[in-house]
Amino acid sequence: MRALLNRMVFAARTGAHVRSGHVGWRCRIGHGSHIKAGCVLNNVTMGRDCFVNRGAELYASDVGDYVSIGHLAQIGPNEHLTDEITTCNALYDDVLGKKLRARNVPRTTIGHDVWIGSRAIVLRGVTVATGAIIGAGAVVVRDVEPYGIVLGAPAQLLRQRFAPELVDRLMASRWWEADPSDVRRAVARSATAASPAEKVEAFLVALP
């Protein structure tokens, strides 16, 4: 019943497709985004045309447009206190409880057009910049730069998707703010280009 109510509310409010009953009312889900069954979202903002696969969990996070999140990924889970006698908050008094809450104030930020692989974990307070790819099973403990590909636990930079000058051009264009129909046409135009530089050029030229 809750899942059905969530679907109705988000569809009416934003045009999002929510199949999970565990999406909090404080969440804002953008037009055309799909939240599959079994996902948990709490205190999350999300842009348009995102896809969150089964069982993914997002907490206190701000997610851009065109983001893809694999099944069972975790974004922004709560931290524990590691410099106290115990990590169990059931044993904390008011002072330690306040310290724990302060530890979990920072939000996690996911830029635009990010792909986060299955079972990846992005820790609380981390920023994953636009265009980045997080490999399956990676544990991201520090910020990821634009259009970087990171793998492993802890995640390390494998390579950049494009040369630095191409990344600068893509970021400067702010293409994610263009009309989605224009973006789709530009993507299709770039698909036939042979090299990364030609793809970026064709994409940017095709945008209004």
* C-alpha distance from residue 92 to each of 95, 104, 154 (Å): 8, 15, 29
Predicted pLDDT of residue 25: 75
Question: pLDDT, tens digit, for every residue of 178-189?
Answer: 999 999 999 999
**Residue range 71-93: average pLDDT?**
94
Is residue 118 pLDDT above 70, yes or no?
yes
Mean pLDDT for the chain overall:
93
Catalytic residue among 31, 34, 80, 112: 80
pTM of the predicted model as reported, rounded to 2 decimal places: 0.91
Indicate if 112 belongs to the active site: no
203: left (phi over 0), alpha (psi -120 to 50) or beta: alpha
pLDDT at 170: 98
For the segment 107-132, the average pLDDT, to the nearest whole number, is: 98
Q: Which residues contact 124 (CB under 8 A, 6 or more apart)?
A: 59, 60, 76, 77, 78, 79, 104, 106, 107, 108
76 against 103, higher pLDDT: 76
pLDDT at 12 > cutoff 70: no
Structural domains of the chain ordered from first start: 2-161 (2.160.10.10), 163-208 (no CATH)
